[in-house]
Amino acid sequence: MKPNYSLDDMRLFWVVAEAGSFRQAATVLGIPPSTLSRRINALEQTLGLRLLHRDAHRINLTGTGRQYFERCGPLFSELNDISGELHAEKHEPAGVLRIAAPVNTMYRWLAAALNQFQLRYPKIDLDIRMSNWMIDVGEHAIDLAIRVGEPRLQGWIARPLTLVQSLLCASNRATQWHHIQHPSELINYPLVVSSPINVWRFIHQQDQQQIDYSPQGNIRLSVDDMNIAMQAIEAGVGIGYLPRRVVQEYIQQGRLVALATDWQGPKRDTYLLYRDRDNQPLRLRLLIEHLLEVAPKEY
């Protein structure tokens, strides 16, 4: 039989049966007792069954009403539990957040920032997916993603977080490569490529001329971890193109040398990506605010 009654009327009956009177139930529900009585009458008329015996001071359940109440109870108790959990999602700093981020970003600054966040909010748990490739955020139920370069997630909000600028570098011992002045010369030398950066983009620091170089044919090592790439560059395996903040300490220590310094990579944004600006769980809003606050200007 197709039901033709309101689920809300069922809930009103359940509250009345629990309270034991229309007046107390009306107080709980915030509606006039007369309105509540009329709604219960309508439910009884729809069902064609008497659910309550009424007198001036209290109500009693009929046998049918008792059966109806006992069957409704678990349903509305569960709905109340769900409502409470949803309220907690919105107003309490607790629960699990699923994050996707590039490996190097995690190593350079994000891991420390997330540790700081969890110490501040001990009831928020993190589930992190580290990858330099664009994982399927839907399949992994990702709440927050961090990506370098122009984001390609339709329907997601993108907030600029920090900047990345790359440059050419080589081992301090590989003096035979230190004279390189222009990216076009790279075709003659062995290279170390850190995926997924497969096109090396350069901008002249004076006239802003732009050149793209695609390593091919002379790649000695291709790896998807910048730390491994940097070790290979320092060992003298080949010339590399890595973020300034990744190699800066090695250059200051004299272990690496910057090449063709008039040509450097453009400053690319790293983006913070999430789905909804307004209807966020509190834990997600707090993490977004934290990362925007602590992210370095450039890395």
Beta strands 191-194 and 239-243 are: parallel
Neighbours of 38 (CB within 10 A): 11
Tens-place pLDDT, residues 170-186: 999 999 999 999 999 99
Report the pLDDT value the prediction gives residue 4, as an integer from 0 to 100.
Answer: 56
- Tell me the domains of the chain and their CATH numbers: 7-91 (1.10.10.10), 95-162+268-294 (3.40.190.10), 166-264 (3.40.190.290)
**How much is the mean pLDDT over the chain?**
86
Tens-place pLDDT, residues 65-104: 787 777 776 776 666 665 555 555 566 788 899 999 988 8
Higher-scoring residue by pLDDT: 176, 149: 176
How many CA atoms, within 13 angstroms, populate the side-chain half-sphere of residue 29? Answer: 25
Report the pLDDT value the prediction gives residue 141, as an integer from 0 to 100.
Answer: 84
Report the pLDDT value the prediction gives residue 200, as an integer from 0 to 100.
Answer: 95
Q: Helix/strand/coil (H, E, C) string of 255-277?
A: CEEECCCCEECCCEEEEEEECCC
- Percent of the chain exceeding pLDDT 90 equals 47
Report the pLDDT value the prediction gives residue 92, as an integer from 0 to 100.
Answer: 79
Report the pLDDT value the prediction gives residue 1, as an integer from 0 to 100.
Answer: 44
CB 268 within 8 A of CB 149: yes
Tens-place pLDDT, residues 223-237: 988 889 999 999 999
pLDDT band at residue 213, thresholds of 50, 70 and 90?
very high
Residue 46 pLDDT > 90: no
Edge to edge, the sheet with strand 191-194 lists 219-223, 191-194, 239-243, 166-171, 256-258
pLDDT band at residue 149, thresholds of 50, 70 and 90?
confident
Report the pLDDT value the prediction gives residue 25, as an integer from 0 to 100.
Answer: 85
Tens-place pLDDT, residues 7-26: 777 788 888 888 888 888 88
Backbone angles phi, psi at 98, to 5 degrees: -105, 125
Report the pLDDT value the prediction gives residue 228, as an integer from 0 to 100.
Answer: 93
Report the pLDDT value the prediction gives residue 280, as an integer from 0 to 100.
Answer: 81
Report the pLDDT value the prediction gives residue 254, as an integer from 0 to 100.
Answer: 95
